[in-house]
A and B are shown apart, each in its own frame.
Chain A
Amino acid sequence: MSTLLQVTNLKKHFPVTKGFFQKQVGAVKSVDGISFEMQEGKTLGIVGESGCGKSTTGRALLRILEPTEGEVVFDGVNIGKLTKDELRSFRTNMQMIFQDPYASLNPRWTVQQVLEEPLLTHGKNSKETIKQRVTELMELVGLSPQQAGRFPHEFSGGQRQRIGIARAIALNPKFIVCDEPVSALDVSIQAQVLNLMKDLQQKFSLTYLFISHDLSVVKFISDRVGVMYLGKLVELAPTDEVFAEPLHPYTKALISAVPVPDPEAKREQIVLSGDVPSALNPPKGCAFHTRCPVAMDVCKSVVPKWQEVSTGRQIACHLYE
């Protein structure tokens, strides 16, 4: 198994400006120094609360948003060092699937046009090849090619998401960022789309970065899970281990909040008090110490190190130092 993607100390800060001359008065630290690597053909799930920087991470990886700092090495290529034109052609390797199937398709374009866009942008294909490829793509994602002339509003949410997936795989990428691809869908449709994504992964040995706030979805699709809190990764481990034995206090609280489909089951739920602090002014030391049930003095002043505690298992917490 080879490493496809190596992320080192990735940061994305959004400047907060004030006044006519747009003087910078602060920064929202959406993603504040995260490091991880991804294995080819595997899925890394990223979970966390709203606003913890999951989606920003995905977009910064693809340079849809320019990262403030840090390195992303994709298959030996440092993405941050590519020029605009190099990046444009490099984009065939990495694509994205979006959360909202209603906003991710241009309402004025037919499915045919949506799926043609990536093919026309990269390489000069003949009309025939493009048409053929569009048919092929639609069949791959379980849509009838006869519907190619229809507009997005004539499809259901699940079908639109399939169109979004078809667009993402049109250029045969190796890596796809999936930004909450099923959270806008019905539970019954979620299962269909997730299964489709798994099938496609096997067929084309795709690597997914799967962003979600739904732990059961992540558990289903991921090989490894990363937990984010306020712009930082707090725990990264194989999926089974995270769910069986969470180490970080935040992960413990998250896992304990997953509903169990058994009314009789007795379980201990850890309810965190307070809200997520502002990313504009995150707490000193460990960002989680304000809500951590087992916080110590050291947590208030020293940032915990991101370290490996056992094979393939990384964590940032003073309890395990």
Chain B
Amino acid sequence: MSTADVTIATAPVKKRKRKKTFFTLLLSNRLAVIGLFFIVVWTLLAVVAPWIAPHSPTDTDTVSKLQGPTIQHWLGTDNYGRDILSRILYGARISIWTGLIGVGISFIIGVPLGAIAAFYGGKLGNFIMRCMDVLLAFPSLILAMAIAASLGPGLISAMIAVGIVGIPEFARLMYGQTITLKEKEFVEASKAIGVKDSTIMFRHIFPNALGPILVHATLGMGFAILVASSLSFLGLGIQPPTPEWGAMISEGREYIITGEWWLVTFPGLAIATSILGFNLLGDGLRDVLDPRLRSSK
């Protein structure tokens, strides 16, 4: 074989690894694409809500209250005669944000806490994890209520409350992952090379721990939206008449029994599809980020 042949043969191998960027990989993963589709659609709907909503989300119309789906009101009206479609579109703005920010707070605080507790262990680790146990000991809704009540009712305090409630789960998950990973020989090898602790955490432990945490984060989105809506139901979160999916469901609950199913079904579908989107994207991300699972797709 001549030298020219060798270079021709090797070039594609190197290119394949580096040029296949994160996004092309993500787009070749069917689950992730479906998930991304749901998320993009909901985000777009949330952005353009004021232009495409057929009615005001808050205007009441007692004459046409509790109407089923009609040409005028595609998804029906609620007990005050408000258009459900418009409320769902406006609600997307609030619910998706609550989910994202709530989970974001839990992730940003919980993951480093768990990692530090496991990596350094000893008294510090013990202290951090026992604090997490204290948080876990409260039923999540009670804790969220206490936090939201102390911060005063409102959207921001609901997000913070939802975020704090989720911290211990992220911390525990990361703690377990880090404990197993830090004993791995490749971490010891880095220590033997003289790599700094922080670099080991960011480059070795965090990427390898990410899979389950990402899945938990996407599942947590649904939980966050539901807790936020429970808070609004109890008067501690988003204040009526602001449209919010969870609040719409809790308000519409009592009408299921009398046959007005559209009050809960459509906001329920909205929650289900948006959360499904995040879950699928999370699964896809996990597969894409792990080179061992990449080739099988």
A contact set with B: CB distance below 8 Å: 20, 22, 59, 62, 64, 87-92, 94-96, 98-100, 103-108, 110, 117-118, 121-122, 146-151, 153, 164, 167, 171
B14 contact set on A, CB distance < 8 A: 146, 148-149
Q: Which residues of B are found within 8 Å of A153, using beta-carbon distances?
A: 291-292
List residues of chain A with CB within 8 A of the CB of B4: none
In the assembled complex, the CB of A185 is this many whole angstroms from the nearest CB of chain B, namely: 15
Binding site for A on B (CB under 8 A): 9-10, 13-14, 16-18, 122-123, 126, 130, 184-186, 188-196, 204, 207-208, 289-292
Docked-complex contact A117 and B193, CB < 8 angstroms: yes
Let me know if A100 and B185 touch, CB within 8 A: yes
Contact of B17 with A104 in the complex, beta carbons under 8 Å: no
Among the interface residues A90, A96, A110, A171, which one has the most CB atoms of the partner chain B within 10 A? A96
Residues of B within 8 A of A99 (CB): 185
Per the bound structure, the CA–CA distance linking A104 and B183 in Å amounts to: 10
| In contact, B188 and A149 (Cβ under 8 angstroms) | no
Shortest Cβ distance from B199 into A: residue: A121
Least distance between B147 CB and chain A CB atoms (Å): 27
Kindly provide the distance from the CB of A301 to the nearest chain B CB, expressed in whole angstroms. 37
A122 to B291, CA, bound (A): 27
Report which residue of B16, B122, B189, B204 has the largest number of chain A beta carbons within 10 angstroms of its beta carbon.
Answer: B189
A88 to B192, CA, bound (A): 9
Cβ contacts under 8 Å, B18 to chain A: 149
- A48 CB to closest chain B CB (Å) equals 20
Q: How far is it, in angstroms, between the C-alpha of A89 and the C-alpha of B186 when the chains are bound?
A: 19
Q: How far is the CA of A99 from the CA of B16 in the complex (A)?
A: 31
Determine the distance from Cα of A122 to Cα of B188 in the docked complex, in whole angstroms.
17
Are B208 and A91 interface neighbours, CB within 8 A?
A: no
Whether A167 lies near B189 (C-beta < 8 A) is yes
Q: A149-B16, A153-B292 are in contact. Are A64 and B191 (CB under 8 A)?
A: yes
Complex A-B: 14 CB contacts under 8 Å: A22-B122, A88-B194, A88-B196, A89-B194, A92-B194, A96-B188, A96-B189, A104-B186, A104-B188, A108-B290, A117-B190, A117-B193, A118-B193, A149-B14
Identify which of A22, A95, A149 contacts B192 (C-beta below 8 A).
A95
CB pair B193–A91 under 8 Å, yes or no, is yes
Residues of B within 8 A of A117 (CB): 190, 193, 195
Does A22 contact B17, Cβ atoms closer than 8 Å?
A: no
Known contacts A117-B190, A149-B14; 9 further A-B pairs (Cβ under 8 A): A20-B130, A64-B191, A88-B194, A90-B194, A91-B193, A108-B207, A149-B17, A167-B189, A171-B193
* A149 CB, min distance to chain B CBs, angstroms: 4
Q: Which residues of B contact A87 (CB under 8 A)?
A: 194
Residues in B neighbouring A150, C-beta threshold 8 A? 17
In the assembled complex, the Cα of A90 lies from the Cα of B192 at a distance in Å of 10
How distant is A5 from chain B, measured CB to nearest CB, in Å? 16
- Flag if A151 contacts B291 (CB, 8 Å): yes
With contact pairs A99-B185, A108-B207 given, residues A91 and B192 touching in the complex (Cβ less than 8 Å) = yes
Interface contact A151-B192, CB-CB below 8 Å: no
Residues on the B chain within 8 Å of A108, using CB: 207-208, 289-291
| Cα separation A106 to B208 with both chains bound (whole Å) | 8
Q: Is the pair B186, A103 in contact by a Cβ cutoff of 8 Å?
A: yes
Is there an interface contact between A146 and B10, defined as CB atoms closer than 8 Å?
yes
- Return chain A residues, CB-CB under 8 Å to B191: 64
Instruction: Report yes or no: B126 in contact with A22, Cβ–Cβ below 8 A.
Output: yes
Q: What 6 A-B pairs are tightest by C-beta distance, nearest first? A: A149-B17, A91-B194, A104-B185, A88-B194, A98-B185, A151-B291
